[in-house]
Every structure is written in C-alpha cells, then in structure tokens.
Amino acid sequence: MPRVFAITKEEELLKELNKALGCSQDLQFSSYVTPLKLIENYTSMHSELVIVDLDLLGDQATHLMNVLRNIKKNVQFILILSPDKMPICSEAISLGVISYILKPCSGKNLSNLILSTLNKLKVHN
C-alpha cells in the first residue's frame, strides 16, 4: 500500500483531500504540521511521496526535502504554494519535485495529482 505524507496547516484542503482519496484508492495518507513530527514518522514508515506546503515552511522546505532525501534517496515531492513562493519552488525543483500546484486548489485536484504521480511511480519501479 503506497504511503503519502503531507506537511501543511491547510485544514479545509486536507478534509477535501481525505474525502477525495477515500473513494479513489487504497493508500495510507498522513498529514503533519511540523517538520520534526514528519521526520520522526518518516524514519520508521518511509513514504513514496511527500507533499510540502511552501507557505508553511518557506525557505525551510528545501532543508526538509534534503533531510528526507538523505533518509530515502528516491522520495518524490509535490509542492503546494501561493504564487509569491515561486522563487522557493524554482530552487526546490532540483531536489526531486515531481510537480507543484498553486493555491487556492481543491482537494479533488490535489487528489488527482497524487494518484497520477503514484501511478507514474509504479510504472518506473
């Protein structure tokens, strides 16, 4: 069963996402609001895909991504961000970002992106 971790405080988006993912596919989805908690769980339960909210982490996002990449080299990332965070997004692309989605976004759109990404990862593995 694929695992997806997310770090964001976007509660409404997470509610919509959980609803959309619930009827779409068997996967384990976990969300966090602090990098430390995510890393703590990531070390024991590796994830194929991590969703990173650049609005929450700002410049710390690339540091978190490097830490996760050191734990598991082939981890992939999807970024969610406001348009004003595009400079950080550009920097993060080199760290294994598969895609990004601009806010405001719906849980359904993010769900479609996650499921599409997981399908691509299955094909390549």
Superfamily of domain 3-124 in the CATH hierarchy = Response regulator (3.40.50.2300)
pTM above 0.85, yes or no: yes
What would the pLDDT profile of 59-98 be if each residue is shown by its tens digit?
Answer: 899 999 999 999 998 899 999 999 999 988 888 888 778 9
Mean pLDDT of the chain: 89
> Where in 8-48 does DSSP place strands (E)?
28-32
Domain boundaries, the chain: 3-124
97: enclosing H helix or E strand: strand 97-102
Section 12-40 average pLDDT: 86
Neighbours of 81 (CB within 10 A): 23
- Backbone dihedral angles phi then psi of residue 22, each to the nearest 5 degrees: -60, -35
Residue 25 has pLDDT above 70, yes or no: no
Q: What is the dihedral of CA 110, 114, 117, 122, to 10 degrees?
A: -170
Identity (one letter) of the amino acid at 44? S
Phi-psi group of 8: left, alpha or beta (phi > 0 → left; psi -120 to 50 → alpha; rest → beta): beta
